[in-house]
């Protein structure tokens, strides 16, 4: 019997503005983990800085609130130290694709088994509405002194180029559908991205609820034969053109759902276990480091290549 999603709430006051998309994302995460029946202590939410960063105080887990842009490397360290933990790294578009974009890219190269959730509202909310990295050029949201001169980054295409093996896009006000995407992302073995489009009723007066809802559509509804799962190289080659078309589709129509999933690639943890053979049994966070307060190794044995036996002359 799965736990109720209510069990994943905490006593903290949820401090977001009324109507904020973060509420929907929070509910979707809580429902996803409750349906997956993950024990709170076995869940770790690592969050960056910004409005969405507060999520780690609202989801019952073994959590960590870190620095602006740095949720992904912390989540990586936690996962590698304790691979049995379910780890989610979340942050806004500014956090993940602005200040922390190097980690957003590099985690894909490792295919660490964590879930990255980007709360994408195209503005910096907590610092009062500056342009985020996903805000298209020439848009002037209400807090901007002039139009945005930067082009917008495409998070799903960047994730694809970086090696993510699960890429999905959801919409914050659609809790049920977003919950399903998050569940699949958590269950996927490897680095997963869920980009969640999120109106910011306070600062983004252009990309509003209405703006999004005129454009979004679910791939599995409009294109019933949509199948983004790749398990072999041949399948990759065959499906790639259509997947790429969907990854770049943005404007009048914005596709939602699972955009890409590759089940052929091994995770970083699996790669490690080919070198450290008992890695899963003795991970860094859960292995002995001493016996009766004494070291486990003798440098003269382990590093014997540095030892010169002088009697051999």
Query: Which residues, numbered 92-121, are part of the site for another protein (CB under 8 A)?
Result: 102-103, 105-106
Chosen residue from 20, 33, 74, 247 binding another protein by CB under 8 A: 74
**Between 55 and 148, whose beta carbon lies closer to another protein?**
55
Residue-wise DSSP of 28-49:
HHHHHHHHTT--GGGEEEEE-S
Smallest separation (angstroms) from another protein to the CB of 290:
4
Name the minimum Å distance from CB 281 to another protein.
8
Distance separating alpha carbons of residues 216 and 196, to the nearest angstrom = 12
Give the rounded distance of the alpha carbon of 205 from its chain centre: 26
Q: How many CA atoms are closer than 13 Å to the CA of 127, on its beta-carbon side?
A: 13
CB 56 to another protein: min, Å: 6
CA-nearest of 193, 199, 230, 225 to 212 is 199
Q: Does 80 bind another protein (CB under 8 A)?
A: yes
Two structure tokens written together for 111: 């295919």
The residue among 60, 64, 44, 58 whose CA lies nearest residue 16 is: 58
Q: How many CB atoms lie within 10 A of CB 283?
A: 20
Tell me which residues in 227-286 interact with another protein (CB under 8 A).
272, 275-279, 282-286
State the angle between helix axes of 101-110 and 155-162 in degrees (0 to 180), rounded to the nearest 10: 40
Q: In the bound complex, what is the minimum distance in angstroms from residue 11's beta carbon to another protein?
A: 8
Among 55, 76, 195, 267, binds another protein (CB under 8 A): 76
Sign of the Cα pseudo-torsion (188, 191, 197, 203, in order):
positive
47 vs 178, beta carbon nearer another protein: 47
Neighbours of 309 (CB within 10 A): 7
**Contact region with another protein (CB under 8 A), list: 16-24, 80-88, 205-213, 247-255:** 80-88
Q: What is the CA radius of gyration of the chain?
A: 22
Q: Which stretch binds another protein (CB under 8 A): 123-131, 139-147, 248-256, 303-311?
A: 303-311
Q: Give the CA diameter of the chain.
A: 85
Of 42, 215, 239, 265, the one binding another protein (CB under 8 A) is: 42
Considering only residues 167 through 196, tell me which ones interact with another protein, judged by CB under 8 A. none
288 lies in the site for another protein, by CB under 8 A? yes
Residues binding another protein: number (CB under 8 A): 72
Q: Which stretch binds another protein (CB under 8 A): 35-43, 133-141, 193-201, 218-226?
A: 35-43
Task: Name the minimum Å distance from CB 261 to another protein.
Answer: 24
Instruction: Indicate the length of the chain as a whole number.
Output: 313
């Amino acid at each position: 019997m799965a736990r109720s999603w209510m069990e994943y709430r905490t006593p903290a006051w949820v401090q977001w503005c009324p109507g904020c998309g973060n509420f929907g994302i929070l509910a979707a995460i809580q429902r996803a983990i409750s349906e997956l029946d993950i024990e709170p202590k076995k869940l770790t939410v690592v969050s960056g800085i910004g409005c969405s960063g507060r999520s780690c105080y609202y989801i019952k887990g073994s959590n960590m609130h870190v620095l602006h842009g740095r949720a992904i490397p912390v989540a990586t360290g936690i996962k590698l130290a304790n691979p049995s933990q379910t780890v989610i790294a979340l942050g806004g578009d500014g956090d993940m694709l602005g200040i922390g974009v190097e980690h957003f890219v590099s985690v894909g190269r490792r295919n660490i088994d964590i879930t990255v959730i980007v709360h994408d509202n195209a503005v910096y909310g907590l610092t009062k509405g500056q342009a985020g990295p996903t805000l298209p050029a020439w848009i002037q949201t209400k807090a901007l002194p002039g139009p945005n001169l930067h082009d917008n980054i495409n998070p799903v295409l960047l994730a694809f180029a970086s090696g993510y093996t699960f890429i999905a896009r959801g919409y914050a006000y659609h809790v049920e559908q977003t919950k399903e995407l998050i569940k699949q992302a958590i269950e996927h073995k490897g680095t997963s991205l869920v980009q969640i489009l999120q109106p910011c009723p306070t600062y983004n007066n252009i990309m509003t609820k209405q703006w999004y809802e005129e454009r979004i559509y679910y791939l599995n509804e409009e294109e019933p034969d949509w199948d983004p799962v790749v398990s072999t190289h041949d399948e990759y080659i065959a499906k790639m053109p259509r997947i790429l078309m969907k990854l770049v589709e943005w404007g009048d129509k914005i596709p939602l759902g699972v955009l890409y999933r590759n089940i052929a690639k091994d995770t970083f943890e699996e790669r490690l276990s080919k070198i450290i053979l008992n890695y899963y049994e003795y991970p860094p966070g859960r292995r002995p480091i001493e016996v009766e307060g004494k070291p486990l190794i003798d440098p003269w044995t382990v590093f014997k290549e540095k030892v010169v036996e002088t009697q051999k002359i």
